[in-house]
Amino acid sequence: MSSEVLRIGSRGSRLALWQAEQAKDRLLALNPGLLIEIQIIKTTGDVKPDPLSVIGGKGVFTKELEESLLDKRIDIAVHSLKDLPTIIPDGLSISAICEREDPRDALILPWDRGRLARTAAQDALKPAGGPPAVPGSLRELPTGSVVGTSSQRRLAQLKALRSDVTVKDLRGNVDTRVRKLDEGQYDALILASAGLIRLGLRGRISASIDTTEMLPAVGQGAIAIETRADDEIAVTATSKLNHRETALACRAERAFLRGLGGGCQFPIAAHAVVEGELLNLEGLVAKPDGSAFIREQLSGKIDHPEDIGSALAERLLERGAGALLNG
């Protein structure tokens, strides 16, 4: 490939820049001759401190990046897939979905307690007459714990599981959120495992939350590469980053979300797994306060992942999912 300059657009957070740098390094390795630069673009979600439920979840972290693509100020946008609306603007396309990191949510405890949770067995932490064991899952959090999250999906599932805990809104980048925890503003946080791992903070994960307790967000843990659909150079270069199994799973999840007409500001969750020639999708819709939810799964051939997602969405709608979302 002859020398070409491709401009990658990224948000300015440490995690977003990590993702952009990873994409850049892989593109350079797979496409000798490319020249690549990264441009930082501020999005609505970066500059407004209000909760996502107030400013609106759809596109608040992606809109300005997509506008920059359409205006040809950048050639590639790197997104956390869970932030990308299921309907993208005309003229743009997702040219690759990169291999997924751990899609699960993570329970984060203040530093000392979290360290104990990671390095000692639960029963060793509970001698006769001693302090209670350090939580190893959401079910073991002490009654009345203050848990930080900005996600309606996490809030609803947490309250469905533990109505006795208090949920407090949480904003800021990963480092800011963890600092607030260690300062005592929260007793625990729920964050995406993938972001912590990518930032070298795997050691702060006190417990990985099993998907039987909390289903993740649609596309969680995956990175999406978006380009102009007619930009042959960018599409050809970035399509080499696509990971087949991840893309199939995420296409099913996004079809499920699209079928429900929701976004990341709604309590909707999904997780798909590819096993051989089969794809298993599990989806959930909940009332915002967690007082009711509908959860089902559906399996099918991997040839048509969108059909599986759409069919599962229809099944949940038939069971009253629309009323839960509007309740």
Q: Is 29 exposed, middle or buried (0-12, 13-18, 19+ CB in 10 A)?
A: exposed
Which of 75, 83, 187, 231 is the catalytic position?
83
Asked whether 240 and 23 are in contact (CB, 8 A), the reply is: no
Asked whether 163 and 290 are in contact (CB, 8 A), the reply is: yes
Asked whether 52 and 265 are in contact (CB, 8 A), the reply is: yes
- Rounded distance, CA 213 to CA 322, Å? 23
Of 301, 71, 103, 115, the C-alpha closest to 214 is 103
Cα torsion through 322, 194, 245, 228, rounded to 10 = 80
**Range list of H helices, 82-186:** 111-119, 152-161, 174-182
How open is the CA angle 263-265-270, to the nearest 5 degrees? 55
- To the query of whether residue 90 is one of the catalytic residues in this protein, the response is no
Q: Are strands 278-286 and 268-275 parallel, antiparallel or unpaired?
A: antiparallel
Of 254, 295, 302, 251, the C-alpha closest to 274 is 302
In the sheet with 207-208, reading across from the earlier edge strand, the strands are 166-168, 146-148, 188-192, 105-108, 207-208
Residues annotated catalytic, as ranges: 83
